[in-house]
Each structure stands twice: as structure tokens, then as C-alpha cells.
Amino acid sequence: MVLTREKVPFTTHPYEVDPKTPAYGEAVAAALGIDPPRVFKTLVATVDGQLGVGVVPVARSLDLKALAVALGGKRAAMAEPVAAERATGYVTGGISPLGQRSRLPIVLDESALGHETIFVSAGKRGLQLELAPSDLVHLTGAAVAAIATS
């Protein structure tokens, strides 16, 4: 695991939430007993025909135009789930910004930097990783930009 190899401090947090639950990300935060702004979802989009990743708080939405700009593009749309799963090697709902099959460009919402640690998917439903946002940026080569909207 890249976290262990790079000696990055992290904690795993298992949880149980029905995947069909509306506001799934917020339900994850509730199940873990943490503030929703600290829990981030990993969303795969196409930017000018190329896949890219936005990592935003679960209670907010990905601003596709802002993601496109952050990745040096003009137009963005959400990727088809099959394309996201194929590129990342993860199942939708459990996509992690770490350890993806293809190294996609990643943008982390700037709000993450306001927290000592944040939570992201560990690569499967039912498991979150807690780590410092600066470590996530370092490990993934992520850019940081305002890409979340209410």
C-alpha cells in the first residue's frame, strides 16, 4: 500500500451504510460520527475528452466548470460509471483518490486544507481512510483549487 511504503500516517475507519441510502456521503459521516465537511468523495469526470478526478466534500457538489479550469480544459462532464471503474480499478461508490489503476489528474477542493485530517474512500464501500490533506496532495500529485459548489 502506498501509504505504508511512503510512511504516511493514516487511520482506517470501517462503517456500515446501505449503498441505496440517499445522501450516502452524509450517511457515512454520520456512521463515523464526524463532521460532513471532513468527508470527501472522489468523482471522475471527462475534461475535454480526457478523464480527471475531483475530490470534494460529500455535502457539496463538484463544480464541473471549475474542475475543467483547474485541469487546463474548457468543458467537463461526469464520466460514465463504467469508464470511471475501468480507469480507477474501483467500484463506483468506493473510488479512492489513491492507488488508481490509471494515474488520472486529480484536483482536491481547497476546503480540505482547512482540516487537520480528512476522510476519503479506501477503495471499497464500507472503509474510509483518514489522513492529512497535505499527504493526499503529496501522494497523488493533486492540484488544489476551489472545485466544490453548494
Q: How far apart are the first and last CA of the chain?
A: 34
Backbone angles phi, psi at 42, to 5 degrees: -110, 115
Could you list the residue range(s) of the whole structural domain that residue 33 is in? 2-149
**Tens digit of each residue's pLDDT (9 = 90 or more) over 32-82:** 999 999 999 999 999 999 999 999 999 999 999 999 999 999 999 999 999
**Taking residues 87-108, what's their average pLDDT?**
94
Question: Whole-model pTM?
Answer: 0.95
Q: What value does the mean pLDDT take over residues 139-144?
A: 96
CATH of residue 74's domain is 3.90.960.10
Total count of domains within the chain: 1
